[in-house]
């Protein structure tokens, strides 16, 4: 599912998409998908594309948090958590650094 999400994200204006395998270092999820956008419109477009693409297969997030206006949208699909950041928020929170022990499965610049 994480790779399907990354594929959906690749159809959007997202930048620097990463898929991290966090199963060995986090009890929260097996995979994190992290990407960023330049503005609120892009964050909404990324979130919408992921949601719509997965909904066509009957998969809906268990929960979602945050807003485009807040600069961070989180979509929780259980084993996969998607983090959609405004570039500034991504730089501030540095999730890649916090989870640096997790192998990177995919990187789309």
pLDDT number for residue 70: 97
Residues β-bridged to residue 37: 86
Residues 41-51: tens digit of each pLDDT: 999 999 999 99
Q: Are 37 and 43 in contact (CB under 8 A)?
A: yes
Question: Per-residue pLDDT averaged across 21-50, rounded?
Answer: 96
Pick the CATH number of 1-65 from 3.30.460.10, 3.40.630.30, 3.40.50.620, 1.50.10.20: 3.30.460.10
Non-local CB neighbours of 71 within 8 Å, separated by 6+ positions: 43, 85, 86, 88, 89
Domains of the chain: which residue ranges?
A: 1-65
Residues 48-63: tens digit of each pLDDT: 999 999 999 999 999 9
Residues 68-101: tens digit of each pLDDT: 999 999 999 999 999 999 999 999 999 999 999 9
Q: Is the pLDDT of residue 109 over 90?
A: no
């Amino acid at each position: 599912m994480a790779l399907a999400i990354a594929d959906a994200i690749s159809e959007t204006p997202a930048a620097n998409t990463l898929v991290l395998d966090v199963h060995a270092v986090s009890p929260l999820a097996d995979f994190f998908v992290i990407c960023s956008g330049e503005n609120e419109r892009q964050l909404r477009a990324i979130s919408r594309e992921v949601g719509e693409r997965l909904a066509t297969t009957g998969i809906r997030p268990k929960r979602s948090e945050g807003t485009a206006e807040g600069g961070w949208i989180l979509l929780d699909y259980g084993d996969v958590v998607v983090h959609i950041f405004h570039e500034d928020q991504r730089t501030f929170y540095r999730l890649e650094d916090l989870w640096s022990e997790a192998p990177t499965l995919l990187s789309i610049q």
